Amino acid sequence: MNLENLIIENVGIALEKLYNQTVDAKLIQVQSTRKDFEGDYTLVVFPFLKISKKNPEQTATEIGMFLKENVSEISDFNIVKGFLNLSISNEYWLNFFTQNAANSNFGAAQVDENSPKVMVEYSSPNTNKPLHLGHIRNNLLGFSVSQILKAAGKNVVMVNLVNDRGIHICKSMLAWQKFGNLSTPTSSGKKGDHLVGEYYVKFDIEYKKQISELTAQGLTEEQAKKEAPILLEAQEMLRKWEAKDIEIYNLWKEMNSWVYDGFEKTYKKLGVYFDKMYYESETYLLGKQNVIEGLKNGVLIQKDDSSIWADLTADGLDEKILLRSDGTSVYMTQDIGTAILRHNEFNANEMTYVVGNEQDYHFKVLSLVLQKLGYDWGKKLHHLSYGMVELPEGKMKSREGTVVDADDLIDEMIETARKTSQELGKLDGLSLEEAEKVYYTIAMGALKYFILKVDPRKNMTFNPNESIDFNGNTGPFIQYTYARIQSILRKASEMNIAIQNEFKVLNINKKEIDLIKYLHRLPETIQEAAANYSPALIANFVYELVKEFNQFYHEFSILKEEDEMVRSFRLSLSKSIAYAIKNCMNLLGIAVPERM
RNA sequence: GGACCCGUAGCAUAAUUGGAUAGUGCAUCUGACUACGGAUCAGAAGGUUAGGGGUUCGAAUCCCUUCGGGUUCACCA
């Protein structure tokens, strides 16, 4: 049993003995004591005043006395206002440490085939343009949340859904046909996703041009947007694609393959991967089929122009189109198909979609439509709705060219890391190749930590020029602490100092106890991060742990400590903390260097 | 117009989901043992949690309202 539950249980007993009343366990609030107060756990006594019929101090004193006498783990208590602060004995902490010090994987739960199954969809790129900063947040979040769920005891399947069909792809294809002069990644020397993205931009330029020409001829803007010839051509191309026109289909395959090559490189640099890939082109027909069936069963409606809709007005939402009047599919159509396919394949206890909060409405609708179609599990879909990434000057806008490209950003980060490391002369002893690896590790550590330390649900600001720091609450700061511990451990082993894990008699100091308390919190932190789908909680935890360790490191000597038992203990403590740092960072998808 | 989200020091962000004196980093200022690695550590200054009202022992957090910003509802994805 963990300490918190132990306390809750005994508070229950105390209330019964002292005031002859049983209390709903929910009223017993135990939280860890705030840093500026003495103690480890705090009981809020306000809820019990009605029962005790005494003032807060008296009530807290009585409960505190009872606990101190009857619970061996509780060594002392103090009272501030209505808060009863309980101290846990040093014996307990030391005993906890000796039992777990050697466990390099402390904090992570075991997973086997009986563990609950969770599917996490993330990334979900469109194949008409390269990845940008927003996708980076998505990929980092999806990967990290998956690792956290695994550590919390879930069986995780990471999947990607590639939006490889639809009108947006046709726009790139059409522009390539018109303006591309048969250029390919090989002939142009460009990364495939970037090349295809250029034609998506070219389409838009031409489209705008045609709109202004049409409005000059007297059409309204609305009409012009609908009737621009290049748009009509793209729509025609989509119809041909759905009819599997051979020429269109081959072009589509080829251009997508360029994009996939490009994506693969970016994914690799980001360090993310997937257990299974889904392609919209392979699922939209299943969606279409279900929509048509839904129409037959009367749960969907058809309008005069033969487009098919879901009427969700009874649920407080609007009507939603599911098939266009020309019979082609929309985004929702394939998402219905994909969900059904996945449910049939994996029957996961939970399906989580890592998708930006601009699609909150979409996922509400998806869940409802699935239920309407008779899929009860539709209500179990979970949308991990993350906030958008903004630049200091505002939203990224592709039309204004302010989109931060993922590949460029990563390269810039590596360049910065290289420069900083070389200025500090940190890696002079390493080979060029080894040094490059460290630059990369630090660069990605900075980038990933910077993005993951903020609450996923919130919008965040990203300043590419200044924001990524190497000092303070940053990835490299944490990596540095890890590297420093490794340095000590290397020295210890050169000095042939054995690290023991038994510490019977020991005059342990407060910083050491505090560090052990941090380690003790790791398992619950992982559980909490999983429950909230929040890598930020892991980031905050490891940052505080590292800060605490750096204070300890500064204040006390490890290798120069003369008492052998104490020296050995401090080495063991440092080693355990290094494990914790590494594991937490891995949960964020961040690697740690042995030196930097 | 309907629905939803957000507003915390100059900037970027925390706050155990209703708990104590609102933490932290950057930037600014001051200081640290010729170092088990100074990419570190100690300290100072910076706040009416957008404004107002309410709920209660207790509110950044819940309710109402005003202001400011954003997303979405499209035969876009």
A27 touches strand B (CB under 7 A): no
Q: Is A469 helix (H, G, I), strand (E, B) or coil?
A: coil
Q: In this predicted structure, what is the pLDDT of residue A465?
A: 72
Q: Which of residues 229-268 of A touch strand B (CB under 7 A)?
A: none
Residues 282-321 (A) near nucleic chain B, CB < 7 A: 303, 305, 307, 316, 318-321
Per the CB < 8 A criterion, the answer to whether A145 and A156 are in contact is no
Handedness of CA A546, A552, A554, A556 (dihedral sign): negative
**In this predicted model, which residue has the larger pLDDT, A394 or A276?**
A276
Bridge-partner residues for A319, per DSSP? Answer: A311
A130/A399: higher pLDDT: A130
- The confidence score (pLDDT) of residue A354 equals 97
Nucleotide nearest to A425 (CA to C1'): B39
Which of A556, A508, A535 has its CA nearest to residue A97?
A508
Task: Give the CA-to-C1' distance from A541 to B24 in angstroms.
Answer: 12
Q: Which residues contact A447 (CB under 8 A, 6 or more apart)?
A: A136, A409, A410, A413, A468, A475
What's the pLDDT at A344?
Answer: 95
Q: Within 7 Å: CB of A398 and strand B? A: no
A501 pLDDT exceeds 80?
no
Is the pLDDT at A472 greater than 70? The verdict is yes
**Strand B contact with A50 (CB < 7 A):** no
Q: Which nucleotide is nearest to A571 (CA to C1')?
A: B36
Query: What is the rounded average pLDDT for all residues in chain A?
Result: 93
Structure-block tokens of residue A74 = 């509780």
Indicate the pLDDT class of residue A220, thresholds 50, 70 and 90: confident
Q: Cα separation of A238 and A280, whole Å?
A: 14
In the numeric block, the tokens 């005043």 are attached to A49
- Residue pair A86/A7 in contact by the 8 Å Cβ criterion: yes
Q: Note the CA–C1' distance, A453 to B8, in angstroms.
A: 17
| A42 CB-near residues (< 8 Å, 6+ apart) | A30, A31, A32, A33, A34, A83, A84, A85, A86
A46 touches strand B (CB under 7 A): yes
* Residue at shortest CA–C1' distance from B5: A357
Worst-scoring range by mean pLDDT, A161-165, A215-219, A293-297? A215-219
pLDDT at A124 over 80: yes
What's the Å distance between residue A446 CA and nucleotide B29 C1'? 28
pLDDT in tens, A311-325: 998 888 889 999 999
Query: What's A320's DSSP letter?
Result: E
Q: CB of A426 within 8 A of CB of A435?
A: no
The 3 state secondary structure assigned to A382-403 is EEEEECCEEECCECCCHHHCCC
ipTM for the complex shown: 0.95
- The Cα A348–Cα A367 span in angstroms is 16
The SS3 assignment for A278 reads: strand
Q: Check whether residue A557 has its CB closer than 7 Å to nucleic acid strand B.
A: yes
> Residue A454: which nucleotide is closest by CA–C1'?
B13
* Residue A359 CA distance to nucleotide B8 C1' (Å): 27
Task: Point out the residue nearest to B73 (C-alpha to C1').
Answer: A318
**Count of C-beta atoms within a 10 Å radius of residue A37:** 12
| Burial (0-12, 13-18, 19+ Cβ within 10 Å), A151 | buried
- Round and report the angstrom distance from CA (A329) to C1' (B77): 12
Rounded CA–C1' distance between A313 and B49, in angstroms: 38
Does the CB of A83 sit below 7 A from strand B? Answer: yes
Mean pLDDT throughout A459-486?
A: 91
**Better pLDDT: A20 or A546:** A546
In this complex, the residue with its CA at the shortest distance from the C1' of nucleotide B21 is A36
Contact between the CB of A54 and strand B at under 7 Å: no
CA–C1' A52–B35 (A): 58
A83-88 β-sheet, strand order: A30-32, A41-44, A83-88, A74-80
Measure A372 CA to B52 C1' (Å).
Answer: 44
Query: In this predicted model, what pLDDT tens digit does every residue of A33-59 receive, in sequence order?
Result: 998 899 999 999 999 998 888 899 999
Which helix (H) or strand (E) segment holds residue A352: the answer is: strand A350-356
Q: List, for residues A47-104, the tens digit of each pLDDT value.
A: 999 888 889 999 999 999 999 999 999 999 999 988 999 999 999 999 999 999 999 9
Q: Using the CB atom, is residue A383 less than 7 Å from strand B?
A: no
CA-based nearest residue to A410, from A228, A270, A205 = A270
Average pLDDT of A332-355?
A: 95
Instruction: Enumerate residues 6+ apart whose C-beta is below 8 A from A132.
Output: A396, A403, A404, A405, A406
Range list of H helices, A495-563: 510-532, 535-555
CB A446 within 8 A of CB A476: yes
Share of chain A above pLDDT 70, in %: 99
Q: Does position A401 have pLDDT exceeding 80, yes or no?
A: no
Q: What is the pLDDT averaged over residues A509-531? A: 95
Q: List the beta bridge partners of residue A594.
A: none
Give the H or E element holding residue A74. Answer: strand A74-80
Q: Is the CB of A391 under 7 A from strand B?
A: no
Nucleotide nearest to A80 (CA to C1'): B20
Joined together, the tokens standing for residue A280 give 């919209």
A346 Cβ neighbours under 8 A, 6+ residues apart? A117, A119, A157
**Interatomic distance A393 CA / B47 C1' (Å):** 25
DSSP calls for A87-132: EE-HHHHHHHHHHHTT-TTTTPPP--TTSPEEEEE----BTTS--B
Of residues 171 to 230 in chain A, which lie within 7 A of strand B by their beta carbon? none
What share of chain A has pLDDT > 90, as a percent? 83
d(CA A283, CA A272): 24
Whether the beta carbon of A362 falls within 7 A of nucleic chain B: the reply is yes
pLDDT at A271: 97
**Is the pLDDT assigned to residue A2 strictly greater than 90?**
no
CB within 8 Å of A39: residues ≥ 6 apart: A33, A76, A77, A78, A85, A86, A87
Contact between A82 and A45 under an 8 Å Cβ cutoff? The reply is yes
Q: Is A421 near strand B, with its CB below 7 A from some atom of it?
A: yes
Q: How far is the CA of A121 from the C1' of B19 (A)?
A: 37
β A319-323/A308-311 pair status: antiparallel
What is the enclosing helix (H) or strand (E) of A134? Answer: helix A133-151
Which nucleotide's C1' sits nearest to the alpha carbon of A490?
A: B36
pTM to 2 decimal places: 0.95
Residue A21 has pLDDT above 90, yes or no: no
Q: How far, in Å, is the CA of A393 from the C1' of nucleotide B26?
A: 18
Residue with CA nearest C1' of nucleotide B24: A473
> Which nucleotide shows the minimum CA-to-C1' distance to residue A317?
B3
Q: Which two tokens stand for residue A470?
A: 């190497």
- Token reading at A401: 């060219």
pLDDT band at A505 (very low <50, low <70, confident <90, very high): low
Q: Which nucleotides of B are covered by protein (CB under 7 A)?
A: 2-6, 11-17, 19-21, 24-27, 33, 36-37, 39-42, 57, 70-77
Q: Are A517 and A90 in contact (CB under 8 A)?
A: no
How sure is the predictor about A397, in pLDDT bands with cuts at 50, 70 and 90? confident
**CB-strand contact A471/B, under 7 Å:** yes
Name the nucleotide nearest A389; use CA and C1': B70
What residues does A384 pair with on adjacent strands? Answer: A354
How many alpha carbons lie under 13 Å from residue A88 in its C-beta half-sphere? 21
Determine whether the distance from the CB of A142 to the nearest atom of strand B is below 7 Å.
no
Phi-psi region of A60 (alpha: psi -120 to 50; beta: other; left: phi over 0): alpha
In SS3 terms, A441-462 reads as HHHHHHHHHHHHCCCCCCCEEC
Q: What is the C-alpha separation between A243 and A530, in angstroms, rounded?
A: 44
CA atoms within 13 A on the CB side of A286: 18
d(CA A18, CA A62): 8
3-state secondary structure of A351: strand
| Joined tokens for residue A83 | 């808060």
